[in-house]
């Protein structure tokens, strides 16, 4: 199994992390607050990530990718997450939810048509799973796709869909009920829907608590007609396929969360060294020093968890439990560290001009998206035999 021990990564991973870290500090960080304040999508940053090949990191070169692996993506997400979670989730969703389903389950024709655009970052893909009545209970999908000759006709709605309404969004993969089995249980399939298809509509962007520079919309499908060959994978196996995508995505979200947790540590250390109270730097007080020490411990433990899950995944071994653990501990570390960092900064931590304030607003969704904390606990309990 690939050695992904913290502190002893192979050179290619170390160099990638450094390159993305430099990009995050010099390109992402200077504009993050403005995009967050204005609720604008950072097209110039996305173009920069595209030029670096980040959207193609885990894909083969034959499809326009960089020939790397999923752990390389995770390292990039961690570095981006330190300074701007909105940018990090744009990359994560573009790769894990946009391009990866096509790569994992698509026909060769589908891969040739879509992957070069998606892996280049010149186009974004999204995955339409969540509905008003089907979130954690994705099996409660109400969107339907009916076969009509050589076409599928889709009707329904989705909500909270990332990367679904940008100027460069070209594809949404939609889960829809395509039939019923003998017991009457819904058979859910995945279908590729180009965003220029008549009847497809992205509603107004959400007014969110955080991730304000990330693109998120509700979607409606009104008699959306696509060719029958746009079925992704086997008919009736769309939900099962997406569960695998979610398992992988939890490792990626954990990496993003670790970045957020570490970003809070870094900002707090800097502030504690510079801020003086009662004639001394506040970092010399044990109350502050110990709080930051616990923050560092949380980030380290969460990083170790996602490294372990990624190593199992790359080795082709079962990793469902480890991915759930990584997502659980990393998302909680990010939220706990954001709260502590805000406290350390005092009144300044409540001002949006400080990065920790943005982390405080951004981090909560990490305990909800791509499987809530409760879902992770359920999965872990099942994996230990309960």
Return all residues near 349 (Cβ < 8 A) that are at least 6 apart: 341, 342, 343, 356, 357, 360
Give residue 243's pLDDT. Answer: 86
Phi, psi (deg, nearest 5) at residue 215: -85, 120
Q: Are 262 and 256 in contact (CB under 8 A)?
A: no
Q: 3-state DSSP call for residue 1? A: coil
Structure tokens at 385: 């035999």
State how far the Cα of 175 lies from the Cα of 190, in Å rounded to an integer: 4
Element (H, E) at 179: strand 169-180
pLDDT interval class at 134 (50, 70, 90): confident
Q: From the candidates 12, 235, 370, 374, which is the catalytic residue?
A: 370
Distance CA 246, CA 208 (A): 23
Instruction: Give the mean pLDDT of 345-365.
Output: 95
Give residue-wise pLDDT tens across range 240-269: 888 889 999 999 999 999 999 999 999 999
Work out the number of other CB atoms within 10 angstroms of the CB of residue 167: 9
Domains (range + CATH), the chain: 11-124 (1.10.540.10), 125-236 (2.40.110.10), 240-383 (1.20.140.10)
Tokens of 102: 């096509």
Rounded to whole angstroms, the Cα distance separating 53 from 48 reads 9
210, 364 contact by CB (below 8 A): yes
The pLDDT score that the predictor gives to residue 1 is 52
Q: Can you tell me which residue has the tokens 């400080």?
A: 354
Structure confidence at residue 3 as a pLDDT band (50, 70, 90)? low
Q: DSSP string spanning 195-206?
A: TTSTTEEE-PPP
Specify the higher pLDDT residue, 377 or 5. 377
Cα 55 to Cα 71, 123, 274, distances in angstroms: 13, 10, 37
% residues pLDDT > 90 (the chain): 90
Q: Is 370 among the residues known to form the active site? A: yes
Residue 295 is predicted with a pLDDT of 98
Angle made by CA atoms 73, 357, 292, in degrees to the nearest 5? 75
Q: pTM of the full predicted structure?
A: 0.95
DSSP label at residue 97: I
pLDDT tens, residue by residue, 160-188: 999 999 999 999 999 999 998 888 788 99
**Placement of tokens 């010099």 in the chain:** 26
């Amino acid at each position: 199994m690939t050695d992904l021990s913290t502190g002893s990564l192979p050179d290619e991973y170390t160099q990638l992390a450094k390159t993305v870290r430099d990009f995050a500090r010099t390109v992402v960080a200077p504009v993050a607050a403005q995009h967050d304040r204005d609720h604008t999508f950072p097209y110039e940053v996305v173009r920069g990530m595209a030029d670096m090949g980040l959207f193609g990191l885990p894909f083969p070169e034959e499809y326009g990718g960089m020939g790397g692996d999923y752990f390389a993506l995770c390292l990039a997400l961690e570095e981006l997450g330190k300074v701007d979670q909105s940018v990090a989730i744009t990359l994560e969703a573009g790769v894990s939810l946009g391009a990866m389903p096509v790569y994992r389950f698509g026909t060769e024709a589908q891969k040739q048509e879509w992957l070069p655009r998606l892996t280049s970052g010149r186009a974004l893909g999204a995955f339409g799973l969540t509905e008003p009545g089907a979130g954690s209970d994705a099996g409660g999908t109400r969107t339907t796709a009916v076969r009509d000759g050589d076409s599928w006709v889709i009707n329904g709605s989705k909500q909270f869909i990332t990367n679904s309404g940008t100027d460069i969004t070209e594809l949404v993969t939609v889960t829809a009920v395509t039939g019923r089995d003998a017991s009457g249980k819904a058979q859910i399939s995945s279908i590729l829907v180009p965003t220029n298809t008549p009847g497809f509509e992205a509603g107004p962007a959400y007014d969110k608590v955080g991730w304000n520079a990330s693109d998120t919309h509700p979607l409606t499908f009104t008699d959306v007609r696509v060719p029958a060959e746009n079925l992704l994978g086997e008919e009736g196996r769309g939900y099962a396929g997406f569960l695998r995508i979610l398992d992988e995505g939890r490792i990626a979200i954990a990496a993003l969360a670790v970045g957020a947790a570490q970003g809070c540590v870094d900002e707090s250390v800097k502030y504690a060294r510079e801020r003086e109270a009662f004639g001394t730097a506040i970092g010399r007080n044990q109350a502050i020093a110990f709080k930051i020490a616990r923050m560092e411990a949380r980030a380290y433990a969460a990083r170790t968890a996602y490294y372990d899950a990624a190593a199992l995944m790359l080795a082709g071994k079962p990793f469902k439990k480890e991915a759930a653990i990584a997502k659980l501990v990393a998302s909680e570390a990010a939220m706990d560290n954001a709260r502590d960092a805000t406290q350390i900064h005092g009144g300044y931590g409540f001002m949006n001009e400080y990065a920790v304030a943005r982390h405080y607003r951004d981090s909560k969704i990490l305990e909800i998206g791509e499987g809530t904390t409760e879902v992770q606990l359920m999965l872990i309990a099942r994996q230990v035999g309960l």
